[in-house]
A and B are shown apart, each in its own frame.
Chain A
Amino acid sequence: MRRILSSIRDGHGFDILLVAFPLGFLFLMAGLPLIYNAVMSFQEVDMFSLGTFSRPFVGLKNYRDLFAQPETWPILYNTLVFVVGSIAGQFLIGFGLALFFWVNFPGASWLRGLFLVSWVMPGLVVGAVWNWILSGDFGVLNFLLRESGIISGNIFWRSDPQYSLYAVIIANIWLGTAFNMILLSVGLSAIPGDLYEAAELDGANAWQRFWTITLPMMRSSIGAIIALGLIFTLQQFDLFAAITSGGPNNSSNVTQYWAWELSFRQYDFAKGATISVIMIVFVMFASVVYVRSTRHEVRG
């Protein structure tokens, strides 16, 4: 007993204790539900068996059924479009802004702070605001596009199956850009200034400096922000609930919203769980990318 106590006081035991605490917490709050969810995806679940844990195992039946449904592939495709479109938009605009504020004109840091406003707003509020902007008849977006001659007639962003998914993507890009910008700004400011001076004296022009110094030095930041972006877009739920509710006719439905719909609207918990498991695989992949890219910091 004394050995254990002294080991906790001044040795290895303390490290283990420190790690054990968050690990236990994580296991309880995230690990168990995850396992429960995975188990459920192999079971037959209905309203009556919801309360017990011992439900009939059906093997891969849920998965087979899911992929037999006609809407599954379109929704998976929508998810892909949503994730790629959102991340590309958030990253490119965020990186552009980060580079812009990096120039450090008077008031740059103050303005940059203002951008964080979008990030602290709840998704449902953002959704409501974008509902007005995207509105077909009196929306600001249509007004701008019309006045600048890009479109001739109004686009019904939220109710036109061709545009509904993009309506959510646009709102999501707006929501996530600030986060991208802040993280990339941090990455940019961590690049030592004398590298640019050395490169300039070595004869590199601004374009070459960007490609040979900035981008390679930002590799870990970029990897991290894209992995985080993947996780954040895969859990984006509020905007769908607020703007399109996945409709019309699943045209803007994505897996995370569909999983909720199946579980809590249609009470098909097994299918909901099955979709969640598929998503978990993707998120785990993103996590690996994230961990790897933050581990391979290339710094001095």
Chain B
Amino acid sequence: MIAQIELTGVNKHYGNYHALKDIDLSIEKGSFTALVGPSGCGKSTLLRSLAGLESISTGTLKIAGDVMNKVPPRKRDVAMVFQSYALYPHMTVEENLTYSLRVRGMPKTEARKAAAEVARTTGLSHLLDRYPRELSGGQRQRVAMSRAIIRHPKAFLFDEPLSNLDAALRVHMRKEIRALHDRLGATSVYVTHDQIEAMTMADRVVVMRAGIIEQQGRPLDLYDKPANKFVAGFIGSPAMNFIPAQGGQDGRSVVLDLGQPQSVDVGYPVQPGRELTVGLRPEHITLAPPDKAMLKVPVAVVESTGAATYLTTATTPELAVVINGRGGTAAGETVGLDFEPAQLHLFDVKTERRI
């Protein structure tokens, strides 16, 4: 694996606020990496540090093998797509695209040819003479992307580029950005707070919280084996159910506390009496006849989108359940719920780490 971007022990302080804490991250050449996390966790700070728009306090940042700590942004050869797009309002689309070429001294005719070519691949050919204010949000987004593409940079940095678009366009652009990435063989770092975007687009997902990388890995690995309760709750939609539990006396089961205790044989050793939090994804719960089911619970809310039905149970803590189709239950009924014991995620109560 060739690391295109490499961070070792990177810290960032704003005054006495510690925004990035000991970040170690290696981004493979040609990969698509998503940075996700709740608002304020330092995603943008990390991305802007890669671009050089923020300086890092300690640690090393390498891009394509060269140490970049002190290199100004314009010499790093990375391109960024801003959430606000940051298009130059006084320039036409074509001038926006060719700006980076012109400031580097490329002759105008050559730059225009490059712009025409990029515009063709991004479907902007008919808009080259327009000003940014004459474009729709989606078109502006495309211009921002094209402006990055035209330079063939060492890396593309995206800071929530789709958050100003409507839901349908967002889904569409998701695919388009990923296809573009593959076609260019680019290295991309993509910041988003939308875990679905991260899961669907990225080769690697980096989950951050409060300036710390909580876990990084392939999207489905994060889904299947979240390293801690935070990642478990963050990845997946609707969010994972968390149920307080204890290690069973037989040493291989857990006792879920959902009003009344319910023992589940997990098939591997669990320390008896150990305080646990058990995670169970809504989509891993199925409906079963009440008399044969593991759990028998009353239903509080039923919501259906037609394709799927979302149940919320009247238990403490309440459970979210997703079932395919209509489900055929109504609020107030008692239903039986089943799940595979292997689908349970066990976390230590104190450390919140996976067991």
Select B72's contact among A195, A200, A202, A300, beta carbons within 8 Å: A200
Among listed B82-90, B225-233, B309-317, interface-contacting one = B82-90
- In Å, the complex CA distance between A217 and B88 comes to 9
Assess whether A197 is interfacial by the CB under 8 Å rule: yes
- In Å, the complex CA distance between A199 and B151 comes to 13
Binary per-residue interface labels of chain B (248-260) against chain A in the complex, 1 for a CB within 8 Å, 0 otherwise: 0000000000000
Q: Do A298 and B89 form a contact, CB below 8 Å, given A202-B147, A208-B103?
A: yes
Q: Do A201 and B51 form a contact, CB below 8 Å, given A192-B84, A194-B82, A213-B88?
A: yes
- In Å, the complex CA distance between A296 and B262 comes to 72
Chain A residues within an 8 Å CB radius of B104: 203
Q: Do A205 and B74 form a contact, CB below 8 Å, given A198-B88, A212-B99?
A: yes
- In Å, the complex CA distance between A300 and B80 comes to 19
Assess whether B79 is interfacial by the CB under 8 Å rule: yes
Select A200's contact among B74, B88, B90, beta carbons within 8 Å: B74
Q: List 26 A-B contacts (CB under 8 A).
A: A192-B86, A194-B84, A194-B86, A195-B86, A195-B88, A197-B53, A197-B80, A197-B82, A198-B87, A198-B88, A199-B103, A200-B52, A200-B53, A200-B74, A201-B53, A201-B80, A202-B79, A202-B99, A202-B100, A202-B103, A202-B147, A203-B100, A204-B74, A205-B74, A213-B88, A216-B90
Closest 10 CB pairs of A and B: A202-B100, A194-B86, A198-B86, A204-B103, A216-B90, A203-B74, A200-B73, A298-B90, A208-B103, A201-B73
CB pair B90 A199 closer than 8 Å? no
Interface residues of B (CB under 8 A from A): 51-53, 72-74, 76, 78-80, 82, 84, 86-90, 99-100, 103-104, 132-133, 147, 151
Select B86's contact among A197, A212, A217, beta carbons within 8 Å: A197
- In Å, the complex CA distance between A283 and B133 comes to 33
Q: Please name the residue on chain B nearest to A202 by beta carbon.
A: B100
Q: Please name the residue on chain B nearest to A208 by beta carbon.
A: B103
Assess whether A299 is interfacial by the CB under 8 Å rule: yes
Chain B residues within an 8 Å CB radius of A212: 88, 99, 103
Name A184-225 residues within 8 Å CB distance of B.
Answer: 192, 194-195, 197-205, 208, 212-213, 216-217, 219
CB pair A201 B79 closer than 8 Å? yes
- In Å, the complex CA distance between A298 and B133 comes to 9
Number of interface residues of A (CB under 8 A): 21
CB pair B90 A198 closer than 8 Å? no
- In Å, the complex CA distance between A300 and B131 comes to 9
Chain A residues within an 8 Å CB radius of B133: 300
Q: Please name the residue on chain A nearest to B159 by beta carbon.
A: A194
- In Å, the complex CA distance between A194 and B73 comes to 13
Chain B residues within an 8 Å CB radius of A205: 74, 103
Q: Please name the residue on chain A nearest to B102 by beta carbon.
A: A212
CB pair A201 B74 closer than 8 Å? yes
Select B99's contact among A194, A199, A217, A298, beta carbons within 8 Å: A199
Expressed in whole angstroms, the minimum distance between the Cβ of B292 and any Cβ of chain A is 60
- In Å, the complex CA distance between A197 and B99 comes to 13
Expressed in whole angstroms, the minimum distance between the Cβ of B22 and any Cβ of chain A is 26
- In Å, the complex CA distance between A300 and B84 comes to 10
Expressed in whole angstroms, the minimum distance between the Cβ of A186 and any Cβ of chain B is 17
- In Å, the complex CA distance between A208 and B88 comes to 14
Given A195-B86, A200-B52, A300-B133, 20 other A-B contacts at CB below 8 A? A197-B53, A197-B80, A198-B82, A198-B88, A200-B72, A201-B52, A201-B78, A201-B79, A202-B74, A202-B103, A202-B147, A202-B151, A203-B100, A204-B103, A216-B90, A217-B90, A219-B90, A298-B89, A299-B89, A300-B132
Chain A residues within an 8 Å CB radius of B53: 197, 200-201
Chain A residues within an 8 Å CB radius of B51: 197, 201
Chain A residues within an 8 Å CB radius of B147: 198, 202
Binary per-residue interface labels of chain A (285-300) against chain B in the complex, 1 for a CB within 8 Å, 0 otherwise: 0000000000000111
